[in-house]
Amino acid sequence: MLIDALRDDFVFGSKGVKFMPYTTYLVEKGASHSFVAEAKPPTVTMPRIKALMTGSLPGFIDVVRNLNSPALLEDNVITQAKAAGKRMIFYGDETWVKLFPQHFVEYDGTTSFFVSDYTEVDDNVTRHLDKVLKRGDWDVLILHYLGLDHIGHISGPSSPLIGHKLSEMDNILMKIHTSLLSEERENLSPNLLVLCGDHGMSETGSHGASSMEEVNTPLILISSAFERKPGDIRHPKHVQQTDLAATLAIGLGLPIPENSVGSLLFPSIEGRPVREQLRFLHLNAVQLSKLLQENVPSYKKEPGFEQFKMAERLHGNWIRLYLEENTSEVLFNLGTKVRRQYLDALRTLSLSLSRQVAQYDIYSMLVGTVMVLENPAHPNSRWSELDVVILLGTMGHVLSLGASSFIEEEHQTWYFLVNTLCLALCHEIYRNCFLGDDCEPWRCSHGERGFVNTAPALQDGSIGHDELEPHRASKSPTSLNTLRGWEKWMAMASPWVILTCCRLLRSLNQTGVQWAHRPDLGHWLTSSDHKAELSVLAALSLIMIFALVQRRCSLTSKVAMALGLLGVYCYRAAIGNVLFPWQRDSKDISKGLIEARFVHVFVLGILFTGTKDLLKSQVIAADFTIKTVGLWEIYSGLVLLAALLFRPHNLPVLVFSLLIQTIMTKFIWKPLRHDAAEITVMHYWFGQAFFYFQGNSNNIATVDISAGFVGLDTYVEVPAVFLTAFATFAGPVLWASHLVSFLSSETSSGSALSHACFCYALICSFPVSAYIILVTSLRYHLFIWSVFSPKLLYEGMHILITAAICVFFTAMDQANTKS
């Protein structure tokens, strides 16, 4: 019986005493052995099932495979049981059916990703129990309950729903156990009932990373064969989750899976005769030593192998004494020594094998990275102070990825970089305002690289291709002298306004590891006592979003945007996050399907309108305005989708993102005429910062899975995955989209946009490529799975998503240019 997301303290802590009395009785006084099983990251379902059944350590690629699990080809307990003729029945998470197709004589799978359902998903498992427990036509019954995990994703581990679900699970366990005891009275053969979790849940209700709450799960072996004497107190021992595969295999009389790194849970066999104990330990040690020989060339020098050989020699001596029917104290003492030697060898072998990973050709990877990233600068180019800041910041960020603490707290790096960038821009603006164009040589050359709006020139068909490039005339005004009055003062104040926005956003969501537990404004807003304040903030944020986005939209898109944002508030009110002015409480809570789908319709409508304008601009090649409006409408459609998926307390993140983009466009990028590369890097930096402003981190547990089911009444893989990915990477995606829209509105030449996309791809791939080298060289590091691998996964997803955005817009722009 596997209960998804069952934390160890849910059973062994105060919640277990209160809500799971029968299970607590079995743990404290019943015929059972209890363990705290450590699940190695990634703590998501498919890799954990794989670890439980194969005894091996899955890789982080299994986080992706978790979305659509392929058949498991690796040797495992289920396959061995089928080969031995065991009849197996399964009810629960359909991941098992995908991993082990055609292995069960009967099964009924339930969808694991529709997290809004925590009732029917378990009822569909329990409804089979009354009949199947009365039948005698099966050898193995597997149940996987998902409701507890879904409650965690929706409302966290402190929700009142957790207690009700634990009570439900306790009653089911009691039903199964009493049925098994009744059967044993008839056939006198002991059964084994295993209660376990695949992973735990963090304090926010998510999972995937390596916090204690996520990796520690209960593992309880219940059987009449484990009878305890009066006064026998058995405290839960700490073991590895991979140990279950070897234990089940030996208990069922099956071969241990060949890639298992787990060791036999000895308490399960300590009631057997010494000869059987040593035989079982020997089987496990032989399997681990063979695996060591296959993976380590110098296996003979490994401490675990030497301990195993010593145990074998002592075991041979014990067998000779046993065959001589020697029942003296010498035989007993030697047997105890052999057992201890085997257990030490198993522990050392298991630890050594767990550290082994694949070997990589680091030299070839390094050479390939250097060749790909080689991008020599133009020999006549001059570097501004801003260019130096960008270069040092990028290089410093890459180097910081070699330390686990910098990865866990990477948000601090990006907050520092955007603050430094703002100060550098402040220096540049003040220099322009007070010293003018003749201040420094670099200043003049910097201006010569800037953009000018070439839209008017398009009316003249005689303009050549070179004249459509970013403006390079040395005599054109390049300082802030083009701004007058309040605009000049706003330009001077803009870096400080941006710094203020960033500081406010930092207080909204605590993220990372060291300070994630500290209270923040987001926790205050989401508490039930401050729902009125959250409602006001959400309403004001949606109004601000409309004001900032609508200025360049067509009339149709403006109406659609207004109605869509109204629908966003109605959706959040329907599911109980916010209140309408006439509401005093949120008793009438629904799933908000109608409201969410209402917004989805307007999102699609705005995206369709923008795409139509882009296609129209290909026909009317001279109409530059249509293309820029089309790109902005596509961008505004993505903003509306983000507003729908963001939780209400995170809507200010979207507001400040739009506000900063507006300020930088009007008072920094246009007046100072930064080149495409500089503008691209600024967009990338702010996109990364806003990823963390959302409350994300390099911890997989911070992914908000519930965003993938906004508007869905059942699990549909493609839209669920898309919505989850978009909600997670909304910051980088919106800034990448704004980059394309801004450059397209400033120059009609596709070369500038192509150059920007190349720069974006380069700045994304450089840290990733360098990071692959670092991860490979640090593959034996203690935090390789809990810190380094999740970061690599995040970076890979970031590249895929933002690259898709840039490629789409660039392709549309290039098609228009050719027309």
Q: 222 - beta bridge partners?
A: 32, 193
Residues comprising the chain, all counted: 819
Residue 469, pLDDT > 70, answer: no
CB 703 within 8 A of CB 728: yes
pLDDT (tens digit per residue) in 768-792: 666 666 666 665 555 555 566 677 7
Beta bridge partners of 90: 107, 142
Cβ atoms 798, 729 nearer than 8 A = yes
- Tell me how far apart the alpha carbons of residues 739 and 757 are, in angstroms, rounded to a whole number: 9
> pTM of the predicted model, to two decimals?
0.66
Predicted confidence (pLDDT) per residue in 315-327, tens digit: 999 999 988 877 7
- pLDDT tens figures, 679-724: 989 999 999 999 999 988 887 778 888 888 899 888 788 898 899 9
**CATH number, domain 2-250, options 3.40.630.30, 3.40.720.10, 3.30.390.10, 3.40.50.670:** 3.40.720.10
Q: What is the pLDDT of residue 160?
A: 87
Lowest mean pLDDT among 23-27, 113-117, 220-224, 480-484: 480-484
| The one-letter amino acid at 597 | R
Q: What pLDDT was estimated at residue 672?
A: 84
Compute the distance between CA of residue 53 and CA of residue 49 in angstroms, rounded to an integer: 6
Residues 578 and 196: their CA atoms lie apart, in Å, by: 37
Neighbouring residues of 425: CB distance < 8 A, sequence distance ≥ 6:
386, 494, 495, 668
**pLDDT value at residue 633:** 92
DSSP 141: E
- pLDDT-derived band at 60, boundaries 50, 70, 90: low
DSSP type of residue 305:
H
The predicted structure's pLDDT at residue 177: 96
- Could you check whether the bond before residue 273 is cis, i.e. omega within 30 degrees of 0? no
* Residue whose structure tokens are 């882009």: 614
Q: Which residue has better confidence, 63 or 335?
A: 335
- What is the rounded CA–CA span in Å between residue 645 and residue 731? 12
* H and E: helices and strands count for the chain: 34, 8
Q: Where are the beta strands (DSSP E) in 26-105?
A: 32-38, 88-93
CA 281, distance to chain mean position in Å, is 38
Tens-digit pLDDT profile for residues 649-681: 999 999 999 999 999 998 898 888 888 888 989
- Helix crossing, 789-818 with 624-645: angle to 10°? 150
* Exposed/middle/buried for residue 541 (C-beta within 10 Å: 0-12, 13-18, 19+): buried
Task: For residue 210, count CB atoms less than 10 angstroms from its CB and return exposed for 0-12, middle for 13-18, buried for 19 or more.
Answer: buried
Find the Cα–Cα–Cα–Cα dihedral 751, 757, 761, 762, rounded to 10°.
Answer: 50
Tell me if 378 sits within 8 A of 665, measured CB to CB.
no
Q: What is the pLDDT of residue 702?
A: 81
d(CA 104, CA 764): 46
Distances (CA, A) of 198 to 4, 46, 173, 240, 402: 6, 9, 17, 12, 30
In which element (H, E) is residue 319 found?
helix 303-323
**What is the rounded average pLDDT of the residues 415-438?**
84
Count of other CB atoms within 10 angstroms of residue 344? 16
More confident residue, 554 or 767: 554
Sign of CA dihedral 549, 551, 552, 556: positive
Instruction: Report the distance separating Cα 100 and Cα 319, nearest Å.
Output: 40
Bridge partners (DSSP) of residue 237 are 35
Q: How far apart are CA 451 and CA 586, in angstroms?
A: 52
Per-residue model confidence (pLDDT) at position 380: 47
To which residue do tokens 């409408």 refer?
633
- Cα Rg, the chain, nearest whole Å: 31
Q: CA of 610: how far to CAs of 326, 388, 551, 615, 617, in Å?
A: 90, 38, 15, 9, 11
| pLDDT value at 347 more than 70 | yes
Q: In whole angstroms, what separates CA 103 from the centre of its chain?
A: 31
Contact 670, 746 (CB under 8 A): yes
Compute the C-alpha angle 529/531/533, nearest 5°. Answer: 105
**Half-sphere exposure at residue 373, Cβ-oriented, CA atoms within 13 angstroms:** 14
Q: Average pLDDT for residues 28-36, to the nearest whole number?
A: 95
Average pLDDT over residues 534-553: 93
Mean per-residue pLDDT over the chain, rounded? 83
